[in-house]
């Protein structure tokens, strides 16, 4: 029905009769009439021709709303590998058009960021593979090693490159204007701690404490004390964090991360498993993948494969994901280990 209405609208906008449209598409006027009345729809093979004739996308023929179209774009990005230039440009243009509407600008710009980050990640993975080959074929050329390390997200010893001052400046300004935004405050704290700007981190933590009563504030107290080298204080804070009650699954995953960084792998796995148990369905795959990484570090191929398979099970049973790039990556990891 919606497609028929859209065909009628497009035809009327161009001042065409049903007969004129039928002639252009090599069908009968009766066929066009049936489309517009909702008694039938165009054959799927005719849809591209219709879209070209009216100068619209096939989605527009279905009269998909901008909100539905943006949801479709998001799903497509997450299940796709690298888009070629034409596909990327098409999606980009659609989102830029939606961004012209003030009510949709935020959502459209978010999806543009998702698109660009997705493409950047795909290129990064390509750079890793090219970098590996370059290092091998050049006998470890210094520039090849550097490019591989950069592509793989290696630690950067050069502070001039590694520091986050521009990001910190932007988030500091945003948080001053939006003091109730917990997510932004946490990103600010993460980067201040990573740059060892710990006095500033404590000041911003005090602001977080005014709006948050969860495990997150003691977590940051622990991270700051650890970065300051205050071993006794950090151990005390860790015990307090572990003994908290009534927290969500993120609390357990955080403790899994902390024990992983301490190379207390058995404890880390326990906390990751607890996090998966606490998490309501549909469950994310983070716990299983973290366990897989620990097993790989330990040289436990069977344990790593089992954890990746658990992640694949969750993707299928909890999310209905049976294809897409993320699933393929996990499947490749399993094959590599077997």
Question: Does 115 share its domain with 169?
Answer: no
- Percentage of the chain beyond pLDDT 90 is 77
Say whether both 37 and 72 belong to one domain. no
Length in residues, the chain: 338
- For residue 188, tell me if it sits in a domain: yes
Task: Give domain status of residue 153, yes or no.
Answer: no
- 321 and 255 belong to one structural domain: yes
Range of the domain at 54: 2-61
The model's pLDDT over 27-78, given as tens digits with 9 standing for 90+, comes to: 999 999 999 998 888 888 888 888 888 887 777 777 677 888 899 889 889 8
Q: Which three-class secondary structure state does DSSP give residue 141?
A: coil
261 and 180 part of one domain:
no
Average pLDDT value over all residues in the chain: 93
Same domain membership, residue 214 and residue 163: yes
Same domain, 256 and 333: yes
Compute φ and ψ for 204, nearest 5 degrees.
-75, -30
Does any domain span residue 6?
yes
Same domain, 173 and 118: no
- Cα separation, 250 vs 259, in Å, equals 14
Q: What is the pLDDT of residues 225-280, one digit of tens each?
A: 999 999 999 999 999 999 999 999 999 999 999 999 999 999 999 999 999 999 99
Looking at the fold, whether 185 and 116 belong to one and the same domain comes out as no
Average pLDDT for residues 9-14, to the nearest whole number?
A: 88
In the chain, how many domains are there? 4
Angle between helices 249-261 and 286-298 (to 10 degrees): 20
- pLDDT confidence of residue 1: 57
Tens of pLDDT, residue by residue over 127-172, are 999 999 999 999 999 999 999 999 999 998 999 999 999 999 999 9
Q: Which residue has the tokens 């997150």?
A: 216
- Whether residues 261 and 285 share a domain: the answer is yes
Last residue of a domain, one of 178, 211, 244: 244
Q: Is the pLDDT confidence value at 118 over 90? A: yes
Using the 3D structure, point to which of 38, 61, 84 is the last residue of a domain: 61
pLDDT score for 13: 86
| 56 and 77 part of one domain | no
DSSP-derived secondary structure for 57-89: -HHHHTT--HHHHHHHHHHHHHH--PPPHHHHH
- Helix axis angle for 198-209 and 216-227, nearest 10°, is 170
Structure confidence at residue 14 as a pLDDT band (50, 70, 90):
confident
Q: Is residue 255 part of a domain?
A: yes
37 part of a folded domain: yes
316 shares its domain with 293: yes
Exposure b/e, 282-297, CB count within 10 A at least 16 = b: ebbbbbbbbbbebbbe
Asked which of 218, 244, 270 is the last residue of a domain, the reply is: 244
Residue 148: inside a domain, yes or no? no
pLDDT value of residue 33: 93
290 and 335 part of one domain: yes
Q: Which two tokens stand for residue 5?
A: 């209405």
Instruction: Write the CATH number for 16.
Output: 1.10.260.40
State the Cα–Cα distance between residues 234 and 261, nearest whole angstrom.
14
Residue 174 lies in a domain: yes
Confidence of residue 180 (pLDDT cuts 50, 70, 90): very high
Half-sphere exposure (Cβ direction) of 121: Cα atoms closer than 13 Å: 13
Sequence-separated (6 or more) residues with CB below 8 Å from residue 236: none
Does residue 152 belong to any structural domain of this protein?
A: no
Angle of the 2-13 helix axis to the 18-25 helix axis, nearest 10: 100
Core vs surface per residue 235-249: b (16+ CB within 10 A) or e: eebbeebbeeeeeeb
């Amino acid at each position: 029905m919606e497609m028929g209405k859209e065909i009628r609208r497009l035809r009327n906008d161009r001042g065409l009769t049903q007969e004129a449209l039928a002639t252009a598409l090599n069908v009968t006027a009766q066929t066009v009439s049936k489309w517009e009345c909702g008694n039938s729809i165009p054959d799927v093979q005719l849809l591209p021709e219709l879209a070209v004739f009216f100068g619209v996308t096939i989605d527009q023929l279905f009269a998909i709303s901008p909100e539905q179209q943006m949801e479709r774009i998001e799903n497509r990005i997450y299940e796709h590998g690298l888009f070629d230039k034409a596909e990327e440009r098409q999606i980009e243009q659609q989102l830029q058009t939606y961004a012209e509407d003030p009510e949709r600008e935020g959502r459209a710009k978010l999806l543009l960021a998702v698109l660009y980050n997705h493409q950047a990640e795909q290129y990064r993975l390509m750079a890793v593979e090219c970098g590996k080959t370059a290092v091998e074929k050049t006998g470890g050329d210094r520039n090849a090693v550097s490019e591989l390390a950069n592509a793989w997200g290696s630690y950067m010893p050069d502070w001039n490159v590694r520091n986050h001052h521009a990001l910190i400046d932007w988030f500091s300004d945003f948080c001053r204007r939006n003091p109730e935004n917990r997510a932004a405050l946490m990103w600010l704290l993460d980067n201040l701690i990573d740059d060892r700007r710990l006095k500033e981190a404590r000041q911003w933590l005090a602001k977080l404490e005014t709006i948050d009563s969860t495990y997150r504030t003691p977590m940051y107290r622990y991270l700051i004390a650890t970065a300051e080298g205050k071993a006794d204080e950090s151990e005390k804070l860790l015990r307090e964090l572990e003994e908290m009650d009534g927290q969500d699954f993120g609390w357990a995953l955080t403790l899994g991360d902390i024990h992983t960084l301490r190379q207390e792998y058995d404890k880390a796995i326990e906390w990751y498993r607890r996090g998966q148990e606490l998490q309501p369905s549909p469950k994310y795959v983070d716990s299983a993948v973290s366990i897989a990484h620990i097993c790989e570090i330990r040289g436990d191929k069977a344990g790593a494969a089992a954890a990746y398979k658990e992640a694949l099970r969750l993707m299928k049973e909890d999310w209905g994901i049976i294809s897409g790039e993320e699933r393929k990556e996990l499947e490749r990891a399993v094959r590599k280990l077997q």
